[in-house]
A and B are shown apart, each in its own frame.
Chain A
Amino acid sequence: MASTFRMQLVLDPDMICCVTGEPSLTELDDIEALDRVYRARLLRFVAYSTGDQDLAETIVQDCLLKAYNARDSFRGDCAVYTWLAHIATNLVRDRQRTRKFQFWRRIQRTAPDLSELSSLLPSGESSPESQILARERAQQVSAALEALSSNQRTIFLMRFIEEMELQEICQATGMQISTVKTHLHRAVKAVRLKLGGKI
């Protein structure tokens, strides 16, 4: 089964494009595929960046449409997801600058609620106790993220949740690598403290 799957990967032209780092033109030309592949990841990134899942829905929608409409300008210098994250980051910044956003953020927020997932815990945890512990720790990370600054949170999410390389984060945010590292270290310190670490 594994060998069959590997053979399919090699023969699939889209996968070859991904492996070689070339832009997957088919992927960008097909907005449904773009939506299917990247919507969930983008939604997670934007939802935790803004702390508002309803706003995240709107931003992700705009992001995918922008990417699709501007697909000719994608040169393939980076991965498709890095490019999408760059667009999403700019959209989030635009929204956060508006006074209306700041007002509604104070009044009402619909932050993602991980406790909804009690029945959907990952199967990697063996016992119920381990699952509960994993959920508690995840909620602690979530709470720690809320206390971070916008830049720290975005960069932390990009590095540890989206598993982007530092260079990709620089491309997506337009920051210097030293700035990215500084934000990351501060974010890690805050998360470590929240998890009961000894500083």
Chain B
Amino acid sequence: MESNRENRQSHLTHLTDAQFGDLLLGTASAAAKAHLEACAQCSEEADRVSGAIGSFEQQSLLWAERRAASRPLLAPHRQPVLSWLHIPANPQAWTAAVLAIALAAGIGVAVRNDISARKDHLQAMQPQLAEVQPAPSVSPSTLKADNELLSAIDGELRADTSTPVAMYGLTATSRSARARAPKRIAN
């Protein structure tokens, strides 16, 4: 049986790349399948390659599952980039939004009317403001008296040369003066 198989192998060429690829894809021709049954070498190689791919499939899936499990699940809803533009779904929210817009528009109109009324009032007041004279300045006689008083104060401050040493009746002497003074001889 075994020798018979080897004899048949010797008459056959091995599977080509294309046949081998078709074999893995499951689209092998009848001739390729027949050769695979007869050829132990091609059969072993097909088993080895498909087994390696199967091992890779299993191990890579284990890796991916472990990696995916270590990450948190996606949030149910992604926060939109312009979240303030988020359109409300319920009618109450719409009503509230419309009221808020109306209120904001009303406040805006009121403020605008108030500003324009103030502008009108200022424009009406403008001629009267133009007629207002500045307050009268200080009279020359008062100014002269004030200057004299300030000069007197300044003169007194300048004349006062009293020092803390003079206040207590002390005399300041330098080291050289002490050196020149005659030495007191003790009896």
Query: Residues of A at under 8 Å CB distance from B?
Result: 31-32, 34-36, 39-41, 43-44, 47-48, 53, 57, 61, 64-65, 68-69, 112-114, 116-117, 120-122, 124, 134-135, 137-138, 140-142, 159-161, 166, 181, 184-185, 188-189, 191-192, 195-199
Contact = CB atoms under 8 A, between A and B. Distances in A.
B20 A161 contact: no
Nearest to B22: A185
Contacts of B106: none
Contacts, number: 127
Given A61-B74, A117-B62, A185-B17, A160 B57 contact: yes
Given A44-B64, A195-B48, A31 B55 contact: no
Interface string B45-64: 10011011101111111111
A113 B67 CA distance: 11
A195 B56 CA distance: 12
A34 B76 CA distance: 10
A35 B56 contact: no
Contacts of B64: 40-41, 43-44, 47, 112
Interface in B14-57: 14, 17-18, 20-21, 24-25, 41, 45, 48-49, 51-53, 55-57
Given A112-B60, A120-B62, A188-B24, A137 B78 contact: no
Nearest to A137: B52
A188 B77 CA distance: 42
Interface residues of B, number: 36
28 contacts: A40-B61, A40-B67, A43-B67, A53-B67, A57-B67, A68-B78, A69-B78, A112-B60, A112-B63, A117-B63, A134-B51, A135-B55, A140-B52, A141-B55, A159-B25, A160-B24, A160-B53, A184-B21, A185-B18, A188-B17, A189-B21, A191-B52, A192-B20, A195-B52, A196-B48, A197-B20, A197-B48, A198-B14
A31 to B, nearest CB: 5
A114 B14 CA distance: 33
> Which label, helix, strand, loop or mixed, suits the secondary structure of the A interface?
helix
Contact of B59 (A35, A39, A122): A122
B68 interface: yes
Given A35-B74, A121-B59, A192 B49 contact: yes
Interface string B62-87: 11111111010111111000000000
A185 B56 CA distance: 18
Nearest to A116: B63
